[in-house]
Structure 1
Amino acid sequence: MKKSGILQAIAYLFIAFLNFSCVIQKNSALPFLSKESYCVPPKYVNYFKYNNHTNADSVLNANSMLRLKFSAESILIMNVLRINDEVYEIVKQSDKKNLETSVRLNALKQQIDNRVWLANSEIDALSAELDCEGERIDQIAQFIDDKNSNSNNKLTVASIVIGAVSGITSVLITKESINNGVAIGAGVIGAGLGFATLNPKGKKIELITTRNLLRDIWLEQNNNDISPFVWYMLTEPRFSNTGKSSLLKNTKNRWLLYQFDDNLKLANQSVNFSSGGIYFAEDLHARSQMINQLQSVVRSTKQNLNVFIAELTSAFD
């Protein structure tokens, strides 16, 4: 085989690699995605001013007369909603059947219902924000996954093409030294493409998370992102199943175990608890899972409100 033919074969080998490399590089740039969340609620939201007295034992002791009709969790709820007096009056006068008392009791129950409605609306608002944010992160994660998958597919095809071209040139080239050089070159390129498909990080994207509900939970610091009532429900241990560890701490423990393999240092360094930064696919999936878990926990607090309403209705009747 002539020298010009040999050089042409080698050139084909590297041109094939460069063509696929250019295609991969051309598609590597991500289009603009919303860096800041469109799920953030309006800035003018005002939360109801709840009772700041949150020492559970002292509250329960002060309202021991209500323990016959209400659970400990319900007494804590009526205290934080500042409706103790209304509930006391309903309990005391519920056995009276005259018209005047009935009108008064209905008025009291309406006041209580209004406060409970406000509490429910704050739970629903936070749940809606988490639902929106979870969907947004899922979409971004899926986009990054698709990009990573496309890149890996192109790298695999490129590797196959390089192998095929190498095979052809090995047949065309008769001189052993040149043939070995081409084989080595193809092997190096193929190995490079193979290692590229094993890239554990892949594509990335920058997100701004100035308002970061996950950070509030992780650091146990409410930066006015969560209403005082919902925060109280999340941080008061008596609202958890065990009554010993709060919903917030239980949520943190699950995140640490399932998202970070019980590695506290890794969790503390996670971009998910920062004000923003570079997110890879695994970071986005972890963020989505934690948001969904937090949404479920927030929604679960409505069960305590429902129990309180049921107990109040029973006392009213």
Structure 2
Amino acid sequence: MKQLIFLLLSIFVSSCSTVLNSTKIDYLTSNYCQPTIEYDYSKLEIPKQNFIQQDSILNANLSKHDILISNAIGIEVYLTAYLQIKKDTLKKLVLKQKITDRLILTSIEINALASELDCNGERINKLADYVNGLNNKKTKNLTVASVTIGALTTVAAVLVKNNNSSNAVAVSGGLLSAGLGALTIAPKGKKIELKLQRNLLGNIWYNDNSNRAYPNSIWIIINEKQFSNSGKNDLQESIKNRWLQYNFNGKIDAKTQKLFFDDGGIYTADDLYTRANMLNELQATIRSLEQDLKSLSLKLNSL
């Protein structure tokens, strides 16, 4: 009886949640998706110039949507000068090339950011699969042990002739089997520690791009209401509201907020799956900005 109780306590102790630490964990928790260099956008600044009737020229040729895109990617000065030139001169061709270069650069920025989000989504999902696989293996082992203990207890109780001893075996075995069964119903599971130096979700949650993780053009676009389908909330607000409602049931505590939007912490497999889904959702939104560039490009080709 004492041996059975000792075994029961050992199983409870060994089944408690532990933070995993291995070469596989180290490889996946290091952010190999982060850019290896810092991008210098300072040389892309275009000096503001006062063109005659700049607003009226742009309004006469572009939609409000395309004007906002032009402003976000920094080509409104080039566009105004381009539209003021009547003949197909060399200067007009030079301006057209500058406009095209900016469109290409913005497309590259969109795809670069989306690729980083995609890489992180795959990385975190792989990490979640690894942790979840270990948890499923533990649950399976507990289930097998519970069934085995139950069968052995029944056999032992029948073989033991002494009533007191038989009852003791049955009770101890029943407790052990019940304890193992309880662990399979609500296993604590393994966890991992994930530290975040570059958290692209945090920029959206706090509406703060002071670390310049997002290119300025993209940040302007996702903070402009005209670029959302509803026109009521900008893309940043819409993404944050969806996360709050669907991932956190409408409310979030300080610990969870730190875990997902600050510098990380201890994650369960479910937490990791949630983070991976959020990264993938954000990636899809960033990629959709190509549609806005397409609209402007089509219009410029018709001018």
The TM-score with structure 2 as length reference comes to: 0.86
Of 35, 44, 61 in structure 2, the residue corresponding to residue 41 of structure 1 is: 35
Is 1:165 the counterpart of 2:157 in the alignment? no
Q: 2:67 maps to which residue?
A: 75
Structure-1 separation of matches of 2:19 and 2:79? 63
Counterparts in 2 of 1:52 and 1:168: CA distance versus 1, 3 Å: farther
Secondary structure of 1:206's counterpart equals strand
Q: 2:212 maps to which residue?
A: 224
Is 1:91 the counterpart of 2:78 in the alignment? no
Q: 2:272 maps to which residue?
A: 284
Q: 1:256 maps to which residue?
A: 244
Counterparts in 2 of 1:78 and 1:251: CA distance versus 1, 3 Å: same
Q: Which amino acid aligns with 1:46?
A: D
Q: Which amino acid aligns with 2:112?
A: A
Counterparts in 2 of 1:173 and 1:203: CA distance versus 1, 3 Å: same
Given that 2:195 and 2:264 are in contact with CA atoms closer than 8 Å, whether structure 1 keeps it comes out as yes
In angstroms, what is the RMSD of aligned CA positions?
2.9
Secondary structure of 1:207's counterpart equals strand
Structure 1 residue 209 displacement after superposition: 0.6
Q: Which amino acid aligns with 2:228?
A: S
Task: Show CA shifts across 1:100-124 (max 9, x none).
Answer: x243322211110111111111111
Structure 1 residue 63 displacement after superposition: 1.8
Q: Which amino acid aligns with 1:76?
A: L
- Once superposed, which parts of structure 1, at least 4 consecutive aligned residues long, lie more than 6 Å away? 14-25
Structure-1 separation of matches of 2:33 and 2:19? 28
Structure-1 separation of matches of 2:46 and 2:164? 86
Structure 1 residue 76 displacement after superposition: 1.6
Secondary structure of 2:249's counterpart equals coil
Structure-2 separation of matches of 1:123 and 1:152? 43
Counterparts in 2 of 1:204 and 1:23: CA distance versus 1, 3 Å: closer
Structure-2 separation of matches of 1:298 and 1:265? 27
Counterparts in 2 of 1:158 and 1:263: CA distance versus 1, 3 Å: same
Q: Which amino acid aligns with 2:275?
A: R
Q: 1:56 maps to which residue?
A: none
Runs of 5+ unmatched residues, structure 2: none
Q: Percent identity among equivalent residues? A: 36
Structure 1 residue 14 displacement after superposition: 6.7
Runs of 5+ unmatched residues, structure 1: 1-6, 54-60
Q: 1:144 maps to which residue?
A: 131
1:46-65 → structure 2 map (5 Å cutoff) = 46-47=40-41, 49-50=44-45, 63-65=55-57
Secondary structure of 2:266's counterpart equals strand
